[in-house]
Amino acid sequence: MGDYTEILYEKRGAAGLITLNRPQVMNAISPTVQDEMSAALDAAVADPEVRAIIITGAGRAFSAGMDQGPKPGRRRDLQWPYGVPTGQSASDWIDSWRGREGNHFLRLWEMDKPVIGAINGWAMGAGSWLALCTHITIASEQAVFAQPEVRHGSNTSFLWTMLAGVKNSLRYGLVGDHIDAQEALRIGLVIKVVPHERLLDECFELAERIALVPPETVKINLAIATLGMEMMGLRDALMLDSQLSAPAHVMLREEHRRPLNEAREKNIREYLQLRDGPFQPEPFGPRSKPRD
Amino acid sequence: MSAYQNLLYEKRRSGALITLNRPERRNALSEALLAELDTALAEAKDDPGVRGVILTGAGDCFSSGEDMTDDGVSETVWPQALPEGVPLYKEFDEVRDKDREEILRRRLYRWEYPKPIIGAINGWCLGTASWLALTCHLTVAADDAVFGQPQVRHASGTDFIWVLLAGPKNALRYALTGDHVDAAEALRIGLVNKVVPRDDLLEECFRMVERVALVPPETVKINLAIATQGLEMMGLHKAWLLNSELSAMARLSKREEFNKRLEDARKQGGLRAFFEARDEPFRPEPFGPRAK
């Protein structure tokens, strides 16, 4: 079904199943993943047999977030004290960070068919945003949600605020702390937590129930919720969000960012240890206990 | 009544006349002047004898806009386009705070003011001064008035008030280039209510205040709110909120190939040389009074 290289798309019963399939990099969202997901969504929308779309991840992660591979303009060779890449103007540097990802998530949000997130494991950063903008989100008990990227100079998403409210979303959005599936359920990020091996079955069963309702009715009821939230201001909030992501990424202090960048040049593990070490144990997350 | 250093405040004919009074600096909007304007507006607001405020400029212009006096301007480092030794995060943070404080907070205070503020625009009305003039509830132009946002030529933002009043096409025609607009063109595109001979400017505005004074103040206040707060509800508040974020980015968006020439000119010949270097390629101003 299609020539996908970084995702899998298959039909099962009334559902179209999209699996992010880069387990070796915890399903990081690359431009290819975005393009292929977009194509698979097109296929699912065009196919009358598909009544609901399920998104999940291969391996132990749902998605680790945006792919951190090299991208034009997004460089790390910052020149200090300016905090601007060597040889670049602040103008180019700011421009490279302005509003890129928002449309992708909004498209998912505005799908005519219900999108069910089957969150099988790590859902970090933009991976958490992908999880949150599915219409119905079900978590495996192994799921972990967090935005650890805020620790090195990055932005949270208003999707967290919409779902968890101001206080809960700020509690986690300001520090990047991990939360487990139960906490995600409590604050409203997901609607249900199920045993890991039950996750996809649970989602497929829900898709079959949705298929019992006429598609036109489902489409309208989806729109009442999703477009209604946009009318309530979600669209404006996400637009502001995408602009604020520029200052969040370029307003880097030497004392915070330089050691991280230098560690990253050596290896990613050392970088993550430097970034996340001071926050461990994660007070609310599944890594709050020492790992064995 | 004359606790003011940078403006004149006088009560006359049911109105308060506030005159921007730094003619030696073309009434440039310094922080001190803007702070005094806050105080003067608060004074007029609390005075039941004042039914309308008239805002004008001393001498031959309304105001040249932002005060660009170069006290302590430090050397720019290229290609980053930042002051020497100043990190981007710091510069960005300062500019954003300034835009939120000086532009947004003050703007909304005047916009939501319970008595009509009438702009009496004589001569040059440039950059941030054009925003001050156009966000008055009513704007009357002398036939020698010139509106423009030439600051966009050296990396600075336009303001959504131009779009609100003139529509996107007219606003962009002038905002993208900084081209000047004379009083007749300003009337045509909707920036001002009326154009009058220079000598009749204040008389016209006082006549308007006296007519307003015939209507009960509570009614005037409510009718103002229907227009101003209605536009905020329509989205103006959001547009300005976004504007203040984008303005900060615009101010930091300098490139060596565009801006270094201007800064070199400034170093050698001061502000006059800077403006000459900036504006000369745009002459003759196709629509402005300096077209010939």
* Residue A254 is assigned to a structural domain of this protein: yes
* Residue A44 is assigned to a structural domain of this protein: yes
Asked if B249 is an interface residue toward chain A (Cβ–Cβ < 8 A), one would say yes
The pLDDT of residue A1:
54
* Residue A292 is assigned to a structural domain of this protein: no
Question: Closest Cα to residue B47, out of B2, B3, B1?
Answer: B1
Question: How many CB atoms sit inside 10 A of residue A182's CB?
Answer: 15
* Residue A284 is assigned to a structural domain of this protein: no
Longest dimension (CA), chain B: 60
Backbone dihedral region for residue A192 (phi beyond 0: left; psi -120 to 50: alpha; all else: beta): beta
Domain holding A169: CATH number? Answer: 3.90.226.10
**All domains of chain B in start order, with CATH:** 7-291 (3.90.226.10)
The residues in B 185-244 lying below 8 A from A, measured between CB atoms, are 238, 241-242
Distance, CA of A53 to CA of A40 (rounded, Å): 10
Token digits of residue B289: 């009074």
Question: How many CB atoms sit inside 10 A of residue B272's CB?
Answer: 10
* Residue A144 is assigned to a structural domain of this protein: yes
Q: In the structure, what pLDDT confidence band is assigned to residue A152 with cuts at 50, 70 and 90?
A: confident
Q: What is the pLDDT of residues B132-185, one digit of tens each?
A: 999 999 999 999 999 999 988 887 889 999 999 999 999 998 998 899 999 999
The pLDDT of residue A73:
54
Share of chain B above pLDDT 70, in %: 96
Nearest chain A Cα to B260, which residue?
Answer: A89
* Residue A289 is assigned to a structural domain of this protein: no
Selected for mutation to probe chain A from B74, B97, B252 (highest A CB count within 10 Å) is B252
Across the interface, whether the CB atoms of B249 and A83 are under 8 A apart is answered: no
The residues in B 141-180 lying below 8 A from A, measured between CB atoms, are 155
Q: How many domains does chain A have?
A: 1
First to last CA, chain B: 43
Residues of B in contact with A84 (CB under 8 A): 80, 82, 88
* Residue A291 is assigned to a structural domain of this protein: no
Distance, CA of B181 to CA of B141 (rounded, Å): 12
Mean pLDDT of the B248-262 span: 88
Residues of B in contact with A91 (CB under 8 A): 81, 155, 252-255
Question: Closest Cα to residue B134, out of B98, B164, B173?
Answer: B164
* Residue A136 is assigned to a structural domain of this protein: yes
Counting beta carbons within 10 angstroms of the beta carbon of residue A24, is it exposed (0 to 12), middle (13 to 18) or buried (19 or more)?
Answer: exposed
**The A144-146 sheet, strands edge to edge:** A61-63, A122-124, A144-146, A179-180
Share of chain A above pLDDT 70, in %: 93
Q: What is the pLDDT of residues B237-247, one digit of tens each?
A: 999 998 988 88
First to last CA, chain A: 41
Q: In the structure, what pLDDT confidence band is assigned to residue A210 with cuts at 50, 70 and 90?
A: very high
Full domain range(s) for residue A222: 7-197+215-279
Q: What is the pLDDT of residues A234-261, one digit of tens each?
A: 998 998 888 888 898 898 889 988 999 8
Across the interface, whether the CB atoms of A82 and B242 are under 8 A apart is answered: no
Amino acid present at A274: L
